[in-house]
Structure 1
Amino acid sequence: MKRGLPVVPALLGAVLAVLAVLAVLVVAALGGCGAAPPPAAPGPSVSAPVPQLPWPAGDAAGVALLQERVDAGSQPWLLDPRSVATAFGAAAYGWPDATAELPGDRGDTGAPGVAVILHGPDGALAHLVVAQPGRTGPRGVWVVSRAGTPTGS
């Protein structure tokens, strides 16, 4: 049986679905690590309240646990601020195909990898801040520390 390019979109969709499920499981496992956030204001393409921040770890113990898992070879996407931002977009806003733009992408002189513009469907945007609350550098995990309400096109 000959397989062609139609397998690639299905595989990508499956990978994104698995990432979204993992993100939801991490949020659920870390639930109760602080006060619940207020419900998100309704907006375009938003189907659920924004998860508790920081995300995907709500406190220092959660960050340490994620760092330990990454050090053991699990969840390497947590080492990439773009991947963390896009996974947050899928979990918080229902944007499985979001793309993340870092300040360095625009030639800004600010600290690259801190402010993120998340591009969602139909021109929707969300402004995020990602940070490394534990170990910093290429082997430190990233979390979303702030998230703005998405704006539509």
Structure 2
Amino acid sequence: GYVNRDDLTAAAFLDDPFAEGGRMYRTGDLVRLNDELDLEFIGRVDHQVKVRGYRVELSEIELAVRSLEYVRDVVIEARTPEGGTLRLVAFYTADGDADIRADLERLLPDYMVPAVFVRLDRLPLDRNGKVDRRRLSGIEIAAGGTGGGAGGD
């Protein structure tokens, strides 16, 4: 799909700093070079994950959750517990009580409905007022449960 499409090529490829005149494909994967000179996968830069074989943009799920009138804010994370399989976790703030899982099951395909829901008083924010994802990643999630309510900053 990139042949004779300079605009698409420019968006998807960048100059290869290791090979003169070479090009590198922009995958969206975040990696680092370790001490053994192997590339080590860290994560994605665009919050795209693969759930049961489907490519999913976490922001797509966040948009669906935010469409629920009682939800104030939400952040979706993909977590893989040690020895486990990837599961989606929804950290959210809401007014009143509602069955968020049931509401999402009517809006989204089953593979996009988070496995765990964690209701917070507020999402943790950094100094710039953006959601502090590092602090969210520090919140422990019960192995099989739906998570619990916890305060945030």
* Bin for the TM-score computed over the shorter chain: 0.3 to 0.5
Asked which structure has the greater CA Rg, the reply is: 2
TM-score, normalising length from structure 1?
Answer: 0.35
TM-score, normalising length from structure 2?
Answer: 0.35
Whose relative contact order is higher, 1 or 2, with alpha carbons under 8 Å and at least 6 apart?
1
